[in-house]
Amino acid sequence: MRLGNMSGGHVPVRIGILLPFNNGSAATRALASSMLKAAELAVFDSGNQDILLISADEGGNPEASAAAARNLLQQGAEIIVGPLFAQSAQAVSPIAADHAVPVISFSTDRKVAGNGVYLLSFLPEGEVHRVITYAASQGHTNFAAMVPATVYGQRVGDYFKDDVKAAGANVTDVEKFASATEGITAPAHALAKTNPDAILIAQGGALLRDVASSLAGAGISSDHVKFLGTGLWDDPSTARDPLLAGGVFAAPSPRVDAGFIAKYKSAYGTAPAQLAALAYDAVSLTALLASGKPYSRFTTQALIDPKILSLWYAPAVRIDARQGGSYAVRLVAKQTLEAHIDVFVPPRRLRLIYLPFPGVADEGAVIIDDFLLDRDEAAATTVLRVLGSGIPDSDAWTPIYVRLRKGWDRALLRLKILLERPRGAEGTASSAGSGRASVKRPAGY
């Protein structure tokens, strides 16, 4: 079937959208609706008239999720964007893999990744690590946590204990609470008896306010205790709650999504849901792949095309793609890294030698990133390795090394989405591995 606005001579690229549209929770249904709108907005912004979105409800159990995935595949989906929940992703994974169709899931459970499933989400382990490390650096030594009695809460509790221990602080208590107001009071009073000076609350929305109220009723005040949160706190209503005054949480900078939020409001007359930007990004990446040769999407262009690089590596890139050319990326506002292209052998190798980093003592460092692409015809895979070297072993460079290391980990995860190709046409599925070596590793990393 071809819609009237699709260009002739092209097979439409069918993108399956698998989200909990009929979930029992009104908030979850609203999130799914907002994410679908964001996906539609990404298609419009791409300007590609050959993209067709096909939506299905992921259901409330693994069987329903599997049936929905089969339905999308029967309709010709080349890629599945979603599902939202881990159990759904686990059910969809083997079915999509059997058709060599990649899945971009929004689950926060790292265990479901692999076998053609890629995660585009905010993983709680990173959020917990950042907020605990920050609080410990501010002098807090006695930590407690309130976590929901869910798989997510269990994972957050485990990460919490590990990170507090790594920070050299004490865990006074970890309390689990049920997802109802009456299940919060007893855990809150039990936690209060342990006299913590910092409390992590792994909850958002209305239930977060109930937890804060129960803690206040147990005698805990933000005047004496630092409240800590995960990305679930990333909601304007949280900032207005006086019971959480002075609290902190780890989340992306609001400036990152400002452009998307403005577009969404202009198109739909309301603000997007918290995770809607992830759906926009997932479909934007897929739309970019759709502009290439079908079933042969990944080439060295992913390393030298500024448009593609802006989606997985840096927001602004300037490249003179030749041996002896220049390579400049703006990672954040007013910070640009510039490099000399020392080796350029497409489609196998790109080697960069960086100019002195702005605002950092030179120390005679020669910092190198070497991109190596290896094609294994027998396994029908392309492996990308990123080898880095040259960072000085000094205190001034330690935070820079940590930022670069974590930045590359995140960037290469985004790039993996560009590497999956459906089986059965020209070429076969590609996958990527990554490695990064340096002269030092900070303690505790």
Which sequence spans correspond to the domains of the chain? 13-120+256-282, 124-249, 296-419
Cβ(384)–Cβ(415) below 8 Å: yes
Buried b (16+ CB within 10 A) or exposed e, 53-63: bbbbbbbeebe
Cβ(55)–Cβ(19) below 8 Å: yes
Query: In 183-330, which ranges are continuous DSSP H helix?
Result: 185-192, 205-217, 236-239, 258-268, 276-290, 301-304, 306-312
Residue 232: per-residue pLDDT: 86
Tokens of 25: 């929770």
Measure the CA–CA gap between 209 and 241, rounded to whole angstroms.
Answer: 8
Q: Do domains 13-120+256-282 and 124-249 have the same CATH topology?
A: yes
Measure the CA–CA gap between 282 and 160, rounded to whole angstroms.
Answer: 29
The answer to whether the Cα torsion of 91, 94, 96, 102 is positive or negative is: positive
Measure the CA–CA gap between 300 and 318, rounded to whole angstroms.
Answer: 16
Residue 172: per-residue pLDDT: 95
Cis peptide before 102 (omega within 30 of 0): no
Buried b (16+ CB within 10 A) or exposed e, 399-422: ebbeebbeebeebbbebbbbbbbb
Q: How many Cβ atoms are within 10 Å of 201's Cβ, its own excluded?
A: 26
DSSP state of 204: -
388: β partners = 369
Residue 180: per-residue pLDDT: 64
Work out the angle at residue 84's Cα, subtended by the Cα atoms of residues 80 and 88, and round it to the nearest 5 degrees.
Answer: 80
Tokens of 113: 């990744």
Stretches in the chain below the pLDDT threshold 50: 1-4, 295-299, 380, 421-445
| Burial label, 157 (beta-carbon count in 10 A; 0-12, 13-18, 19+) | buried
Measure the CA–CA gap between 9 and 426, rounded to whole angstroms.
Answer: 18
- Tally: H helices and E strands in the chain: 13, 16
Measure the CA–CA gap between 379 and 382, rounded to whole angstroms.
Answer: 9
Residue 429: per-residue pLDDT: 26
Measure the CA–CA gap between 365 and 353, rounded to whole angstroms.
Answer: 10
Please give the CATH number for the structural domain made up of 124-249: 3.40.50.2300
Residue 421: per-residue pLDDT: 41
Cβ-based neighbours of 234, under 8 Å, separated by 6 or more: 204, 249, 251, 274
Residue 360: per-residue pLDDT: 72
| Burial label, 19 (beta-carbon count in 10 A; 0-12, 13-18, 19+) | buried
Q: How many Cβ atoms are within 10 Å of 262's Cβ, its own excluded?
A: 11
What is the CATH topology of the domain spanning 296-419? Alpha-D-Glucose-1,6-Bisphosphate; Chain A, domain 4 (3.30.530)
Please give the CATH number for the structural domain made up of 13-120+256-282: 3.40.50.2300
Query: What dihedral do alpha carbons 186, 192, 197, 203 form, nearest 10°?
Result: 10
Tokens of 183: 């299940």
Using a cut of 0.85, tell me whether the model's pTM lies above it. Answer: no
Distances (CA, A) of 445 to 397, 403, 408: 14, 11, 14
Measure the CA–CA gap between 214 and 182, rounded to whole angstroms.
Answer: 10
* Alpha-carbon 62 to chain mean position: 23
Measure the CA–CA gap between 320 and 337, rounded to whole angstroms.
Answer: 14
| Burial label, 36 (beta-carbon count in 10 A; 0-12, 13-18, 19+) | buried
The answer to whether the Cα torsion of 42, 46, 51, 52 is positive or negative is: positive
* Alpha-carbon 203 to chain mean position: 19
How many residues make up the chain in this entry? 445
* Residue whose token pair is 């506002």: 333
Three-class secondary structure of residue 113 per DSSP: coil
